[in-house]
Amino acid sequence: MPCQWMKFFVCWPAMRKEENKVMRNNLFALVKKESLHILRDKRTMLIVILILVVLIVLFRFAITTEVNNVNVALVATDRTNGVNDAVNRIAHNDYFTFCGYINQDEIDQQLRSGKVSAVIVFAPDFDRRMEQINAGLPSTPIIQLIVDASNVNSAGAATAYMQEILLGTESQQAMFETRMLFNPQMKSAYNFVPGIMGLIFILVCAMMTSVSIVREKEVGTMEVLLVSPMRPTKVFFAKMIPYFVISCVVLIIILLLSYYLLHVPMSGGVWGIFSMSLLYVLLSLSLGLLVSIVVKTQVAALLLSGMVMMLPMLLLSGMLFPIENFPKFFEVLSNVVPARWYIEGIRKMMIQGSPFVAVWKEFTILLGMTVLFFGMSLLKFNDKLE
Amino acid sequence: MSETVISVRNLTKRFGDFTAVNNISFDVYRGEIFGFLGANGAGKTTAMRMLCGLSYPTSGSGTVAGFNVMREGEMIKRHIGYMSQRFSLYNTLTVGEKIKLFAGIYGLSKQVTAKRSEELLARLKFSSERDTLVKALPLGWKQKLAFAFAGIHRPEIIFLDEPTGGVDPVTRRQFWEMIYEAAEGGTTIFVTTHYMDEPEYCSRVSIIVDGEVRALDTPTRLKQQFNAVSMDEVFRMLARDAQRGE
Question: Distance from A303 to chain B by nearest Cα, in Å?
Answer: 24
Q: Would you say A69 and A161 are in contact if contact means Cβ atoms under 8 Å apart?
A: no
pTM for the predicted model, two decimal places: 0.74
What structural domains and CATH numbers belong to chain B?
4-88+156-239 (3.40.50.300)
- Asked if A12 and B154 come within 8 Å (Cβ–Cβ), the reply is yes
- Asked if B54 and A385 come within 8 Å (Cβ–Cβ), the reply is yes
Q: How far apart are CA A194 and CA B122, in angstroms?
A: 55
**Least CB-CB distance to A26: which of B56, B107, B181?**
B107
Residue B64 pLDDT grade (very low, low, confident, very high; cuts 50, 70, 90): very high
Q: Would you say A193 and A350 are in contact if contact means Cβ atoms under 8 Å apart?
A: yes
Q: Name every chain B residue with its beta carbon within 8 A of the beta carbon of A381.
A: none
Question: Given this model, what pLDDT does residue A110 score?
Answer: 85
Q: Would you say A236 and A213 are in contact if contact means Cβ atoms under 8 Å apart?
A: yes
- Asked if B154 and A6 come within 8 Å (Cβ–Cβ), the reply is no
- Which of A35, A228, A381 is the best mutation test for B, with the most CBs of B within 10 A? A228
Q: Please tell me which residue of chain A has the smallest CA distance to B111.
A: A19
Q: Name every chain B residue with its beta carbon within 8 A of the beta carbon of A5.
A: 123, 177-178, 181-182
Question: Distance from B86 to chain A by nearest Cα, in Å?
Answer: 7
Strands B59-64 and B4-15: antiparallel
Question: How do residues B114-136 score in pLDDT, each as one tens digit?
Answer: 888 888 888 888 888 888 888 88
Please, what sign has the CA dihedral across residues A2, A227, A31, A19? negative
Question: How many other CB atoms sit within 10 Å of the CB of residue B56?
Answer: 14
What structural domains and CATH numbers belong to chain A?
28-61+187-385 (no CATH), 70-174 (3.40.1710.10)
- Asked if A5 and B90 come within 8 Å (Cβ–Cβ), the reply is no
- In single-letter form, the type of residue at position A336 comes to V
Mean pLDDT over A92-114 rounds to: 84
Question: Distance from A39 to chain B by nearest Cα, in Å?
Answer: 9
Question: Given this model, what pLDDT does residue B3 score?
Answer: 86
Q: Name every chain A residue with its beta carbon within 8 A of the beta carbon of B152.
A: none
pLDDT at A216 > cutoff 80: yes
- Asked if A36 and B185 come within 8 Å (Cβ–Cβ), the reply is no
pLDDT at A234 > cutoff 70: yes
| Residues facing residue B4 across a β-bridge | B29
Q: Name every chain A residue with its beta carbon within 8 A of the beta carbon of B31.
A: none
Question: Given this model, what pLDDT does residue A187 score?
Answer: 65
Q: How many CA atoms lie within 13 A of A128 on its CB side?
A: 5
Asked if this assembly's ipTM is beyond 0.85, the reply is no
Q: How far apart are CA B218 and CA B224, in angstroms?
A: 10
Contacts of A143 (CB under 8 A, 6+ apart): A120, A121, A122, A123, A126, A166
- Asked if B186 and A9 come within 8 Å (Cβ–Cβ), the reply is yes
- Asked if A29 and B156 come within 8 Å (Cβ–Cβ), the reply is no
Question: Given this model, what pLDDT does residue A224 score?
Answer: 84
Pick the more confident residue, A7 or A49. Answer: A49
Q: Please tell me which residue of chain B has the smallest CA distance to A220.
A: B88
Q: Would you say B240 and B214 are in contact if contact means Cβ atoms under 8 Å apart?
A: no
Question: Given this model, what pLDDT does residue A64 score?
Answer: 59
* Secondary structure of residue B62 in the 3-state scheme: strand
- In single-letter form, the type of residue at position A98 comes to F
CA-nearest of A275, A229, A25 to B77 is: A229
Q: Name every chain A residue with its beta carbon within 8 A of the beta carbon of B118.
A: none
Question: How do residues A59-68 score in pLDDT, each as one tens digit?
Answer: 666 555 566 7
- Residue A383 burial by Cβ neighbours in a 10 Å radius (0-12, 13-18, 19+): exposed
Q: How many CA atoms lie within 13 A of B85 on its CB side?
A: 12
Q: Name every chain A residue with its beta carbon within 8 A of the beta carbon of B184.
A: 6, 9-10
Question: How do residues A236-272 score in pLDDT, each as one tens digit?
Answer: 888 889 989 988 988 898 888 888 877 788 877 888 8
pLDDT at B25 > cutoff 90: yes
Question: Distance from A384 to chain B by nearest Cα, in Å?
Answer: 9
* Secondary structure of residue B158 in the 3-state scheme: strand
Lowest mean pLDDT among A260-264, B30-34, B188-192, B220-224: A260-264
Question: How do residues A264-315 score in pLDDT, each as one tens digit?
Answer: 888 778 888 999 999 999 999 999 989 988 888 888 888 888 777 778 787 8
- Asked if B186 and A10 come within 8 Å (Cβ–Cβ), the reply is yes
pLDDT at B16 > cutoff 90: no
Q: How many CB pairs under 8 A join A and B?
A: 131
**Least CB-CB distance to A229: which of B77, B85, B112?**
B77
CA-nearest of A85, A81, A122 to A101 is: A122
Q: What angle do CA B31, B35, B39 make, to 5 degrees?
A: 165
- Asked if A24 and B107 come within 8 Å (Cβ–Cβ), the reply is yes
Mean pLDDT of chain B: 86
Question: Given this model, what pLDDT does residue A327 score?
Answer: 85
Question: How do residues A160-194 score in pLDDT, each as one tens digit?
Answer: 888 877 766 554 545 556 666 666 666 666 777 88
- Asked if B103 and A224 come within 8 Å (Cβ–Cβ), the reply is no
- Asked if B100 and A29 come within 8 Å (Cβ–Cβ), the reply is yes
Chain A residues contacting B, CB < 8 Å? Answer: 2, 4-6, 8-13, 15-16, 19-20, 22-26, 28-30, 32-33, 36-37, 40-41, 219-221, 223-231, 385-386
Residue B6 pLDDT grade (very low, low, confident, very high; cuts 50, 70, 90): very high
Contacts of B122 (CB under 8 A, 6+ apart): none
The 8-class DSSP code of residue A78 comes to S
Contacts of A213-218 with CB under 8 Å at 24 or more apart are A213/A239, A213/A288, A213/A289, A213/A292, A213/A301, A214/A292, A214/A295, A214/A296, A214/A297, A214/A298, A214/A300, A214/A301, A215/A298, A217/A292, A217/A296, A218/A296, A218/A297, A218/A298
- Residue A153 burial by Cβ neighbours in a 10 Å radius (0-12, 13-18, 19+): exposed
- Asked if B187 and A12 come within 8 Å (Cβ–Cβ), the reply is yes
Q: Name every chain A residue with its beta carbon within 8 A of the beta carbon of B156.
A: 13, 16
Q: How far apart are CA A133 and CA A167, in angstroms?
A: 12
The 8-class DSSP code of residue A135 comes to T
Question: Given this model, what pLDDT does residue A131 score?
Answer: 79
Question: Distance from A10 to chain B by nearest Cα, in Å?
Answer: 4
Q: What percent of chain A has pLDDT over 90?
A: 8
CB environment A162-195: b (16+ within 10 A), e (fewer): beebbbeeeeeeeeeeeeeeeeeeebbbbbbbbb
Q: What percent of chain A has pLDDT over 70?
A: 84
Question: Given this model, what pLDDT does residue A123 score?
Answer: 83
CA-nearest of A34, A19, A22, A23 to A231 is: A23
Q: From its phi and psi, is residue B125 left (phi > 0), alpha (psi between -120 and 50) or beta?
A: left
Mean pLDDT of chain A: 79
CA-nearest of B179, B109, B114 to B148 is: B179
Pick the more confident residue, B86 or A144. Answer: A144
Pick the more confident residue, A248 or A81. Answer: A248
- Which of B127, B154, B188 is the best mutation test for A, with the most CBs of A within 10 A? B154
Residue B27 pLDDT grade (very low, low, confident, very high; cuts 50, 70, 90): very high
Strands A96-101 and A70-75: parallel
Question: Given this model, what pLDDT does residue A304 score?
Answer: 87
**Least CB-CB distance to A221: which of B79, B90, B186?**
B90
- Asked if B101 and A385 come within 8 Å (Cβ–Cβ), the reply is no
Question: How many other CB atoms sit within 10 Å of the CB of residue B158?
Answer: 22
Q: Would you say A253 and A330 are in contact if contact means Cβ atoms under 8 Å apart?
A: no
pLDDT at A231 > cutoff 60: yes
- Asked if A223 and B88 come within 8 Å (Cβ–Cβ), the reply is yes
